[in-house]
Structure 1
Amino acid sequence: MRRTTLTALAATTLLLAGCGSQSGDDGGSDGKVSPAPTTRSANPSAGACEDHAELKAGDDGRTVCVTKGGEVRLTLDGTKARPWKPVAASGTALKAINPGFVILPGDATAAYQAVSPGTVKLSSSRPLCAEPTAPGKVSCKGIEEWTVTVRVR
């Protein structure tokens, strides 16, 4: 019985991981840069680049373009049982600024100013399943990953 339960759990985890990787109709793998969601542009001549980007968990896998001097803000809504890790930024085109307060346990917030042309990968992760609440309960060790690529022009 235990082997069957673990096999079913593993299959469900793989199915969920596959579903979470679907990118929908937002540019996919055609190599084009998508404008940032929920943006306001102060510089119409910047093309697809915006002066402000607001990112959420649903933006996983996207590439956004922000103009130098603009801001990138993000909020990943988590739970106490499935908390997001602090957001990591690889690259030097963004400078961390004060994101404000995290209101709920498990959320991750971050804010950045675009300081120089370049590309930065923002990333975070959280447990795919909540940790077991009682001894002997089955738990998964899967990780949900979140990444967004930010191009600064």
Structure 2
Amino acid sequence: MRRTTLPRTTPVTVAAAAALLLAGCGAGDGSAGPPGSAAPSGSAAPSGASRAPAGPGTPDACTAHAELGAADSGRTLCLTAGGELRLRLEGSRDRPWSPVEATGTALKAVNAGIVILPGDALAAYRAVAPGTARLSASRPLCPTGPGHVSCHGLEEWTVTVRVTRS
């Protein structure tokens, strides 16, 4: 009688299999890098538009006009009353962004004015009163649909906007 043995599973084998499985999340949506990373959002800015100062350590200067994208998640932005904020989150059919939600009374939604591609989230706001508003959206970490790895994770995008008198 012949004895059959199964290959031994080592911690290294398990770790390698898990890494390959997780590498499928986010693949196929045209983005480079890990989920949560994004191409610079300045590419969505219309010609002649200025972009608000970016990143931690930037002076807390208020601006009258700001353009935001996926790379701006986690920022706090200062906008002067009467100013305008536009944002575009570039997604895909497989990893679509939810519509942008705004909380607070400092911002009022205005017409963003252009047609967007499936999966993108586009929004525009006018700073109407001093105060604070929070903008948020989310999208799946893994592509949806047949032939893709399935997961229930979400990529969250949030920006806090502080509106001051001009």
* TM-score, normalisation: structure 2: 0.66
Find the counterpart in structure 2 of residue 108 from structure 1. Answer: 121
Find the counterpart in structure 2 of residue 150 from structure 1. Answer: 161
Per-residue Cα deviation, 1:75-98 (whole angstroms, up to 9, x for no partner): 111111111000000100000100
Q: CA deviation at 1:138?
A: 3.4
Give identity over the alignment, percent: 59
Find the counterpart in structure 1 of residue 65 from structure 2. Answer: 52
Find the counterpart in structure 1 of residue 4 from structure 2. Answer: none
Q: State the Cα RMSD in Å.
A: 2.7
Structure 1 unmatched ranges of 5 or more = 29-33, 36-46
Whole-Å separation in 2 of the counterparts to 1:138 and 1:62:
31
Find the counterpart in structure 1 of residue 80 from structure 2. Answer: 67
Structure 2 unmatched ranges of 5 or more = 1-8, 26-33, 38-53
Whole-Å separation in 1 of the counterparts to 2:63 and 2:144:
39
Find the counterpart in structure 2 of residue 89 from structure 1. Answer: 102
Letter in 1 for 2:157: W
Asked if 2 retains the 8 angstrom alpha-carbon contact of 1:102 and 1:108, the reply is no
Name the one with the larger helix percent. Answer: 1
Per-residue Cα deviation, 1:102-152 (whole angstroms, up to 9, x for no partner): 321111100110000011110000011111414xx6312211110011000
Letter in 2 for 1:107: D
Per-residue Cα deviation, 1:23-57 (whole angstroms, up to 9, x for no partner): xx9216xxxxx46xxxxxxxxxxx71000010011
Aligned residue for 1:129, secondary structure, equals coil
Give the one of 117, 124, 130 matched to 1:117: 130
